[in-house]
Amino acid sequence: MNAAISSVDENKTARSRLARLNDWVAQTAALTRPDAVQWCDGSDAEYAALLELMQKDGSLLPLNPDTHPRSWLHRSDPRDVARVEHLTFVCTSEKDAAGPNNHWMAPADGHRKMDELFAGCMRGRTLYVIPYCMGPIDSPLARCGVEITDSPYVVVNMRMMTRMGAAALTRIETEGSFVKGLHSTGELDPDRRFIMHFPEELSIKSYGSGYGGNALLGKKCHALRIASWQARQEGWLAEHMLIVGIENPRGETHYIAAAFPSACGKTNLAMLIPPESYRDAGWKVWTVGDDICWMRPGADGRLYAINPEAGFFGVAPGTSANSNPNALACISHDTIFTNVALTQDNQPWWEGLEGTPALDWQGRAYDPANGPAAHPNSRFTVSARQCPSYSPRAEDPQGVPISAIVFGGRRPSLVPLVFEARDWTHGVLVGASMGSETTAAATGAVGVMRRDPMAMKPFCGYNFADYFTHWLGFEKPGAQLPKVFHVNWFRKGADGQFLWPGFGENLRVLEWMIERVEGRVGAEETAVGRFPAKADFNLEGLALSAEAAEELFAFHPGEWKAELLEIGDYLASYGDGMPPRLQQEASHILSILE
């Protein structure tokens, strides 16, 4: 009898949890006025029906079935090809909570602006309800969300990028909590395009864009901006980082989390193929994730990480047999390409591939006078399970233990190939002050050096000063924190050419890091960190001149003094909330340089 009563109570609780979701869907439908409402279950049949629908309306074009079976091309509006950081807002009750690193709007004003845009916007369209889970479906660190959208393109991409459908809905029934995301492509008018985040409400509203980062709300909007807010409250980290496992010849695997700004080689590093000499020696690389990492302290004091995503939304240009053979293999079938060019025989093409384009990313006959054939921020969406180096621990509910955290960016000078932070506080400063040249992943000028703390400048959902304080707070009794490193694959010589060959050779850098983690090699102390000793860094068999090797690890105190002065000014720009420990660390390094 008691068991029967308990079962009835549980059913009532589940229904009440879903009532919140049902009520929100009904309210949204009343506001947006769709012709139909479709709850997505993530099934193969649903996916096939959506593909057929988009093929009929011309929004998806089938690619060569012999070379790229079950793959498609989508062309977005030419005015809608990247993230729009200047139109992205964090709406908190207090402006200081969002911080100077975010565009802020009061929540009431943000809701009012967005609801005016959403009113009646889905007439003639279908409203899709997408339950999804960020992270392995049974992981205690995973978090669920529901995106409402009028874009079938968003639905099929979310199916690849998240654990979407019936299993996610079941978890929402069990937990009762989820992030609410409302999206409409609207009129694709840049003057009527906004992405609003309400972290205190765990909700997102995005209007006027069909581009991935603006429309796939589980990605940057949920997994970084909203999740970073959740992580601070709950004692974990939501970071713009790849996760890769490096297995050495002894059969030991170290997992590394690395933060680079978009289009700076995260996917290439996550899918790295060791050079032949390393493969022969027994080195292996395992891909856990290429873009986002959620970390939490484990019972043993170490940080454990999951990849909240289930797929890759990678930058196509530059992906080639030389730079990333694993990615090419991954996207040889069952892939959606966005804004790439086409060859004469209907294969996807972008700069970096062999062959010749026939049509550019806008569907025009290719003419070099019109610019690159593929848009510089053209993308591929594909399931992570298709990656040849996919890690057997990628779906581990408890995550993988992190041995090292790596920061990096595009710096043509000053910053060496690699250096190690002295301790956790210094490591947080290294991440907080990292700079990089901008890329085509966001609107605006390309090639401009800007500070991009932890590669989170466009993605942190709250005040950077509080974010740095949160990072520092992980150093506590019993913690066994990862070593922190900084890399720079992009240092150039006097001739303007890159000094380091990169790609697979980057394993040499990771090898030094792992040996530092294991205590097998020493390092040379400098004011700004620990540099590799020449005898401890493996350059054997590498076609690298002595001059290039010298410059890759050169330390110029005068230039670093100017850098530290800039860093000090940058930290001070966040006002009184900036943790004194970081400012003191920067001042300490500057005093040594002087």
Helix, strand, coil percentages, rounded to 5, for the chain: 35, 25, 40
289-331 tens-digit pLDDT:
999 999 999 999 999 999 999 999 999 998 999 889 999 999 9
List of residues 6+ apart from 356 with CB closer than 8 A: 343, 344, 349, 366
Instruction: Give the per-residue pLDDT at 439.
Output: 63
Q: Is 212 annotated as a binding residue?
A: yes
Q: Is 263 annotated as a binding residue?
A: yes
The mean pLDDT values, 10 residues at a time, for the chain of 594 residues are: 50 74 98 98 98 98 98 97 93 98 98 98 98 98 98 98 98 95 97 97 98 95 98 98 97 97 86 96 98 97 98 94 94 98 98 96 98 96 98 98 96 96 98 84 68 95 98 97 97 94 96 98 97 95 93 95 96 95 97 93
Instruction: Give the per-residue pLDDT at 17.
Output: 78
Q: Is 363 annotated as a binding residue?
A: no
Spell out the domain ranges in the chain: 13-42+81-234, 239-311+391-593, 313-386
Q: Is 184 annotated as a binding residue?
A: no
Confirm if 486 and 532 have CB atoms less than 8 A apart. Answer: no
Q: Is 83 annotated as a binding residue?
A: yes
Pairing state between β 379-383 and 400-408:
unpaired
- Length reported for the chain: 594
Q: Is 546 annotated as a binding residue?
A: no
Q: Is 240 annotated as a binding residue?
A: yes
193-221 tens-digit pLDDT:
999 999 999 999 999 999 998 999 999 99
If we measure between CA atoms, which residue out of 71, 267, 42 comes closest to residue 160? 42
Instruction: Give the per-residue pLDDT at 1.
Output: 43
- Residues 412 and 499: their CA atoms lie apart, in Å, by 9
Q: Is 426 annotated as a binding residue?
A: no
List of residues 6+ apart from 363 with CB closer than 8 A: 75
Rg (CA), the chain: 24
- Residues 498 and 503: their CA atoms lie apart, in Å, by 12
Instruction: Give the per-residue pLDDT at 448.
Output: 78
- Residues 481 and 117: their CA atoms lie apart, in Å, by 46
Q: Is 503 annotated as a binding residue?
A: yes
CB neighbours of residue 154 within 10 Å = 26
Torsion angle of C-alpha atoms 348, 443, 573, 491, degrees rounded to 10? 40
Confirm if 454 and 432 have CB atoms less than 8 A apart. Answer: yes
Which residue has tokens 């466009």?
A: 458
Task: Give helix then strand counts, H and E, for the chain.
Answer: 17, 29
Q: Is 575 annotated as a binding residue?
A: no
- Residues 39 and 245: their CA atoms lie apart, in Å, by 37
Confirm if 161 and 310 have CB atoms less than 8 A apart. Answer: yes
**Domain 239-311+391-593 falls in which CATH fold?**
Phosphoenolpyruvate Carboxykinase; domain 3 (3.90.228)
Instruction: Give the per-residue pLDDT at 9.
Output: 53
559-585 tens-digit pLDDT:
999 999 999 999 999 999 999 999 999
Q: Is 211 annotated as a binding residue?
A: yes
Q: Is 378 annotated as a binding residue?
A: yes
Answer whether 0.75 is exceeded by the pTM: yes
CATH superfamily label, 313-386: Phosphoenolpyruvate Carboxykinase, domain 2 (2.170.8.10)
Classify domain 13-42+81-234 at the CATH class level. Answer: alpha beta
Active-site residue list: 264
Q: Is 214 annotated as a binding residue?
A: no
- Residues 419 and 530: their CA atoms lie apart, in Å, by 5
If we measure between CA atoms, which residue out of 141, 133, 131, 132 comes closest to residue 397? 141
- Residues 426 and 485: their CA atoms lie apart, in Å, by 10
Instruction: Give the per-residue pLDDT at 404.
Output: 98
Q: Which two tokens stand for residue 38?
A: 């479709």
Instruction: Give the per-residue pLDDT at 5.
Output: 45
Q: Which two tokens stand for residue 431?
A: 């991440």
Q: Is 463 annotated as a binding residue?
A: no
Instruction: Give the per-residue pLDDT at 74.
Output: 98
Average pLDDT, the chain: 95
Q: Is 194 annotated as a binding residue?
A: no
- Residues 370 and 173: their CA atoms lie apart, in Å, by 51
Q: Which two tokens stand for residue 575?
A: 């006002």
